[in-house]
Structure 1
């Protein structure tokens, strides 16, 4: 016997964060998203976030029964049927669709809640590996994922969901001796991390809170000690050819595959450091223009030990991505990276903050995991 996916009859999970961004999520839900789901005859289940951390807790506690219900919604048919055979060959044809009315932080919480909820349980296997498909409605502050995919409005996001085309949403793992997290947008150290941290006091300004916090930190510019090490294959932006160049030769198999020997090191100190999966972090701010949501690379933007003039020059060119041609900017694509700091520091992870302990014991490793049971997410594009 085989199974035919009937997950089109399974309710869409709608995660509403009414406090995100300028608090437009509820209006977008009532006026645009809910009517579209009703018109398309798509059943839904509304999950409303009532506090910080509520979404991640919800999915940690409920993802196993949700997946159980999804599996039970699949119909058994004779093994000889063509559709059943297709399902046997492709166990990922079972789909859990989630509409997010909120920011990138809400998506971050859902991803981590799902993966923590199924960790070590055997719910996701070769025999049953559902795809989790996100439709992100841009009602957050930065809306990095939506902006990077070219989503221009709430209606545009809804239209893409109804059209049904998805691309992989690759996630990054962030690992230290004490921490295991997954990120979908950006990890940062130095000026960017300090900006996000200080932006909380300007939250009432919406997107402008980041600009205000950035100017505050530029006026009191600091350098942040640390070493960034790259493992395996990398690509570096070459300003002379205005292209990305593979940094390992075709015969250097060790450089391409070894994850224990660093093939490239940036010694710092860092003024500005980003490790991202998204090209844009908000409209008009494209710090990693070659980043792709759906590939297996992390894009690194590093500025080492510069002053206010160089940082302001970089900021002035990030709207269209031409800052990569500036002499003080390093742009690297990698799959495995480690950050080590000589003193205790702070790392920003999709808007959350992680304390980095000093020395090798506090080393943080960033990877785009190749584990198929982790890379189960897609996004409507």
Structure 2
């Protein structure tokens, strides 16, 4: 709830002051005989509010950083106020500059800080002050009963620069505790080759405790950790929905509602790529900004892609049928009984060709070269450039039109691309499907992709030269300008069939999936109602 205005007389730095809240920002103004000093901050930098009537103090815990403040600095005086978009401003104006350790300074001290204010004559029967403080708390912290939530930290100690443990201990945990989260499970430290199983067991626990316990799952890691976490949680959900359907067959509506938004996910970027965090506009080096998102509680559902593998059954009539409607004859692989709840779901990228080969071949250099391995492998692949043969069918498709810079519906609703068609451009050099705009900070390879809609973005290059690949990569680092390059084809779709003509490796969110010649890979937006609505993420 946002009140029109809250004004509270206080003492700060032994000077009379006023704390006021208007819209989505708060202003602290110091008054003395000669000067007035004011500083304005967005409300969302506050992560804890602690009134202490016995000491007559009100403490505001703040997290200040360029990302949380959006680096907007303007002048604030009685005649000129400026709101830089949702009140996301940090402002200091004064006829004299304070040098005391306070947020009231031209150059704020970034990080966690506390603003301690004194309230004069705050007595037990001072209902006015009590009411103003409660209004402040309900305005700033939308979930006043954070102690009703249970937090499950899921932490990869080896991801990225191995900073997740330190981030949890020094930033994440203290901020959550200040915000009133008291029920926090022991940290789940992921173990190599067991991450999905650990996530599955966590999912079982979350589902078992619903609806009595409101669970928040915090993932401290990179995209690979989130990938395993999501898949493990969905393994548990698949099992639970199967069991629920057996108990109450035909009661689909109740089953769907029972698991809606069952997994509330907070992303704390601590990996090397952090594509999902970038889509959430999280600064990947600013842990506190991500924690503020969780504390302030705004959520959005995000959507995943299902991946299945199969082959085309022989045509029932003539061989010519194989060139037509082959997608109708795809028979997907059967899942072993012991793995029936272990589907493949992705939320970042599926790639084939140049990108997939970079990821595949660089695996062996990971612990020797770190992220530099990608550049080395890419240079080698450019020298021995290969074009991959296959067939692609995109259904429910829109194509990016370079002339109008908009997406236009394909007339037939389906787009067919084939290296075997002499009328087309030939083999596929670069082919990827994404749900995120950038695969790493700055590399905006599919600039219109979003985790929040049901479409996926497809970007491909066919018979591309090494120079074209290098040019397109450079333009991708310029905000995605490569989509207007004539060598690039760009689509939005909800259903993709890929038939590879030669055995190769695919990249699924960084994991490598070997496929055989003539295997068919189908990637589609998740259709199952329960799984489609299972996740929300703090934004």
**TM exceeding 0.5:** yes
Q: Which residue of 2 aligns with 1:80?
A: none
Q: Which residue of 2 aligns with 1:242?
A: 405
Q: Which residue of 1 aligns with 2:277?
A: 146
- The structure having more radius of gyration, on CA atoms, is 2
**Alpha-carbon shift at residue 107 of structure 1 (Å):** 0.9
CA spacing shift, 1:72–1:161, aligned 2, 3 Å:
closer
CA spacing shift, 1:265–1:96, aligned 2, 3 Å:
farther
SS in 2 for 1:274: strand
Q: Which residue of 2 aligns with 1:203?
A: 366
Contact 2:222–2:269 under 8 Å retained in 1:
yes
321-330 or 64-73, larger mean C-alpha shift: 64-73
Q: Choose from 175, 188, 192 the match for 1:48.
A: 188
1:40-72 CA distances to partner (integer Å, 9 max, x unpaired)?
121222343342232210122342233112334
Distance (whole Å) between structure 2 residues aligned to residue 64 and residue 130 of structure 1: 15
Unaligned runs of 5+ in 1: 1-5, 74-94, 249-254, 257-262
* TM value normalised by structure 1: 0.84
SS in 1 for 2:393: strand
SS in 1 for 2:256: coil
* TM value normalised by structure 2: 0.60
**Alpha-carbon shift at residue 210 of structure 1 (Å):** 2.6
1:293-322 CA distances to partner (integer Å, 9 max, x unpaired)?
100100001011111011011111001100
Distance (whole Å) between structure 1 residues aligned to residue 442 and residue 287 of structure 2: 18
Distance (whole Å) between structure 1 residues aligned to residue 168 and residue 269 of structure 2: 11
49-58 or 222-231, larger mean C-alpha shift: 49-58
1:314 pairs with 2:472: yes
SS in 2 for 1:347: strand
SS in 1 for 2:216: strand
Contact 1:190–1:271 under 8 Å retained in 2:
yes
186-195 or 175-184, larger mean C-alpha shift: 175-184
**Alpha-carbon shift at residue 219 of structure 1 (Å):** 2.4
By relative contact order (CA 8 Å, sep 6+), the higher-ranking structure is 1
**Alpha-carbon shift at residue 203 of structure 1 (Å):** 2.8
**Alpha-carbon shift at residue 214 of structure 1 (Å):** 2.0
Q: Which residue of 2 aligns with 1:91?
A: none
Distance (whole Å) between structure 2 residues aligned to residue 136 and residue 317 of structure 1: 28
1:274 pairs with 2:432: yes
Distance (whole Å) between structure 1 residues aligned to residue 295 and residue 149 of structure 2: 15
1:170 pairs with 2:303: yes
Q: Choose from 94, 105, 111 the match for 2:224.
A: 105
Q: Which residue of 2 aligns with 1:27?
A: 166
Distance (whole Å) between structure 2 residues aligned to residue 50 and residue 135 of structure 1: 17
Q: Within 5 Å, which residues of 2 pair with 1:183-202?
A: 183-202=346-365
1:196-234 CA distances to partner (integer Å, 9 max, x unpaired)?
122334435444333333223222221111111112x21
Contact 1:18–1:48 under 8 Å retained in 2:
no
Name the Cα RMSD after superposition: 1.9
Q: Which residue of 1 aligns with 2:266?
A: 135
205-214 or 277-286, larger mean C-alpha shift: 205-214
Distance (whole Å) between structure 2 residues aligned to residue 150 and residue 202 of structure 1: 30
CA spacing shift, 1:8–1:209, aligned 2, 3 Å:
farther
126-135 or 286-295, larger mean C-alpha shift: 126-135
Q: How many residues align?
A: 340
**Alpha-carbon shift at residue 167 of structure 1 (Å):** 1.6
Q: Which residue of 2 aligns with 1:86?
A: none
Contact 2:437–2:447 under 8 Å retained in 1:
yes
CA spacing shift, 1:7–1:39, aligned 2, 3 Å:
closer
Distance (whole Å) between structure 2 residues aligned to residue 114 and residue 128 of structure 1: 15
204-213 or 280-289, larger mean C-alpha shift: 204-213
Distance (whole Å) between structure 2 residues aligned to residue 339 and residue 307 of structure 1: 22
Q: Choose from 452, 468, 480 the match for 1:294.
A: 452
**Alpha-carbon shift at residue 7 of structure 1 (Å):** 8.8
310-319 or 34-43, larger mean C-alpha shift: 34-43
Contact 1:235–1:333 under 8 Å retained in 2:
yes
Unaligned runs of 5+ in 2: 1-144, 245-254, 310-331, 336-342, 420-426
Q: Which residue of 2 aligns with 1:59?
A: 199
SS in 1 for 2:442: coil
Distance (whole Å) between structure 2 residues aligned to residue 36 and residue 120 of structure 1: 35
Q: Which residue of 2 aligns with 1:355?
A: 514
CA spacing shift, 1:329–1:27, aligned 2, 3 Å:
same
Q: Which residue of 2 aligns with 1:18?
A: 157
Q: Choose from 353, 373, 379 the match for 2:530.
A: 373
Q: Choose from 228, 247, 255 the match for 2:392.
A: 228
Contact 1:22–1:206 under 8 Å retained in 2:
no
SS in 2 for 1:64: helix
